[in-house]
Amino acid sequence: MTPDTDRETKFGFVALLGAPNAGKSTLLNRVVGSKLAIVTPKVQTTRTRMTGIAIIGQAQIAFIDTPGIFAPKRRLDRAMVAAAWSGMSDADTSVLMVDADRAAKAKGSIDPDSLNIIEGFKKSGSKVILALNKIDMVPREQLLKVTEAHNETGVFAKIFMISATTGDGVDDLLDNLVSHLSVGPWHYPEDQLSDAPLRLLAAEITREQAFLQLHQELPYALAVETDSWQERDDGSARIDQTILIKRESQKGMVVGKGGMRIKAISTAARKEMIENFDREIHLFLHVKVRDWMDKPDHYREMGLNFKS
């Protein structure tokens, strides 16, 4: 929508932080009104910072969807966690998203990963907004205990109960965020949904389908790069991508018997791209063995700091 020039406009950056699978990407996609961030049941799905741009009345909010914060063990883990904390430092307001169902089952009604994040807030002296997500999965009595436990930490300026999946409570959260934005011009064109390049969005779509169709630990040893994007005269695009794996023994799992697995990944990814990019897509996937987790170029393409 176009802002009413007779009324003041607002703009601000809001960081979405939380443990893996807290629902940050689901919320981002809901408020933007389009699928930008990939969502799978597997933890640590989000690897990059993804900015989604939402318009609420006269306000434009750039939401920074960050990787889940957890105890890092590998270089990639450290880079992802560093990107998440960096997202907070770059934002005007931060929202900690907590899986209310996971919290309700945890000792003291706060799950360990979220507790570590809260301790980080305490050290920095930051006041953040808490969004208790997945409230549709938790009985009211347990939800009240979870809310009380988080409130007692003293780091939250405001607490909201939401369901990013159903949208319950999301409008109240957005209204609060808008109320704290600074008056100023919008930073992005009104029809722009993200600042991420299409090449990255396309790679993420394919990686999502690979995550959904592959099992056990293989997805965490897998990455996707967009090698080329060619515009065609008929308005369609040819996209060549490489699925990177770490060991030769993993290639068969990705390709599948008679190439059926990679064909299924390609078909699902192409359908998603056509819907997202609103154009015909010709997708060609290749599989290569490469130790991508130790390659600075791949981290740079994902927007991560290799030296984190």
Within a domain: 60: yes
45 neighbors 212 (Cβ within 8 angstroms): no
Within a domain: 77: yes
Cα gap 1→283, rounded to integer Å: 32
pTM, two decimal places: 0.82
Question: Which CATH number fits the domain that encloses residue 104?
Answer: 3.40.50.300
Quote the crossing angle between the two packed helices 170-179 and 24-32, to the nearest 10°.
Answer: 80
pLDDT band at 1 (very low <50, low <70, confident <90, very high): low
Q: Do 38 and 158 reside in the same domain of the chain?
A: yes
pLDDT of amino acid 44: 58
Taking phi over 0 as left and psi of -120 to 50 as alpha, with beta for the rest, 189 belongs to beta
| Boundary-marking domain end, from 136, 159, 183 | 183
Q: Do 47 and 158 reside in the same domain of the chain?
A: yes
* Percentage, residues of the chain above pLDDT 90: 57
Q: Do 160 and 20 reside in the same domain of the chain?
A: yes
Q: Do 15 and 85 reside in the same domain of the chain?
A: yes
| Boundary-marking domain end, from 183, 210, 242 | 183
**Residue 5 reports pLDDT greater than 70:** no
Q: Do 35 and 136 reside in the same domain of the chain?
A: yes
Give the domain extent around 173: 10-183
Cα gap 41→20, rounded to integer Å: 10
Rg (CA), the chain: 20
pLDDT average, residue stretch 98-114:
95
Could you report the per-residue pLDDT of 17-40, keeping only the tens digit for each?
998 889 998 999 899 988 777 666
Could you report the per-residue pLDDT of 65-78, keeping only the tens digit for each?
877 776 666 777 77
Q: Do 115 and 240 reside in the same domain of the chain?
A: no
Alpha carbon of 181 to those of 59, 131, 174, 210, 255: distances in Å?
Answer: 8, 18, 11, 38, 48
Within a domain: 190: no
Q: Do 30 and 159 reside in the same domain of the chain?
A: yes
Residue 26 identity: T
226 neighbors 199 (Cβ within 8 angstroms): yes
Q: Do 242 and 131 reside in the same domain of the chain?
A: no
| Boundary-marking domain end, from 149, 183, 217 | 183
Q: Do 65 and 166 reside in the same domain of the chain?
A: yes
Alpha carbon of 95 to those of 28, 133, 260: distances in Å?
Answer: 12, 11, 42
Single out the residue of 255, 179, 161 nearest to residue 210, CA to CA: 255
